[in-house]
Amino acid sequence: RCPYFFEVSMPCNKREPGSGCGALKGINSLHAIFGWTDNCVAVHPSDMAVALAAIGGTIEAKKSDGASRMIAITDFHRLPGDQPEKDTNLLAGELITAIQLPKPEFSDHYYYLKIRERASYAFAIISVAAGLQITDGKITKAGLAMGGVAHKPWKLTDAEAYLIGKAPTAGNFEAAAQMSMKNAKTLSHNKYKVEMGEKAIVRALTQAFERKA
């Protein structure tokens, strides 16, 4: 997602590889804070893919000759690198034929938070998918991913690992959120996303904990 893709008077490496990234020095308030390069600072727009990253979904890709392979959702989308025109790791001739979901592990405690500029028909400025498995007052498994912050759904693996074995408290949620945002690399107009991201993670985890299906 990047408005410069549609602005043909400005360079865009997705639209015209090698032309440059208009958003890099332009208006980039909605752009990436993780995983970007000088070639592209666009963010991934999907909500579903963020949720799939949190729970550990898998993509089935198949070729016309019937050959198929399974791709973890976290490996399916790409960071821009030096080929930002490529959004996924699908090979030539491959089509997505199925999405496989893991056995439900977060059916009691889950939440999807989407922060956007208007109530409907809007992409996320920041989104957080959160799932918790809680046994005897301790977190035994956590699934966390963000949208609107990178060229792909951004899996919060360090925060997931940190939460295991801990109580679902505000302090632990805040620590996980701070850990998740510590390596953010902001652009000239999107520094606000760091604080917003921290607060969004805390809110999503809190809502997931308080929710009882």
Instruction: Give me the CATH code for the 109-210 domain, please.
Output: 3.30.390.50
Average pLDDT, the chain: 96
**Alpha helices, DSSP H only, in 24-113?**
48-55, 73-76
**Fold of the 48-100 domain:** 3.30.465
- Is there a contact between 159 and 179 (Cβ–Cβ < 8 Å)? yes
183: left (phi over 0), alpha (psi -120 to 50) or beta: alpha
The model's pLDDT over 7-25, given as tens digits with 9 standing for 90+, comes to: 999 999 999 999 999 999 9
Spatial distance between the Cα atoms of 17 and 97, rounded to a whole number of angstroms: 29
Fold match, 48-100 / 109-210: no
Spatial distance between the Cα atoms of 145 and 158, rounded to a whole number of angstroms: 11
Closest CA to 12 of 80, 78, 75, 77: 80
Residue with tokens 């889950």: 110
When pLDDT is averaged across residues 41-57 and rounded to a whole number, the result is: 96
The model's pLDDT over 152-202, given as tens digits with 9 standing for 90+, comes to: 999 999 999 999 999 999 999 999 999 999 999 999 999 999 999 999 999
Q: Give the residue extent of every domain in the chain.
A: 48-100, 109-210
Q: What is the dihedral sign for C-alpha 24, 28, 30, 33?
A: positive
Residue with tokens 């956590």: 142
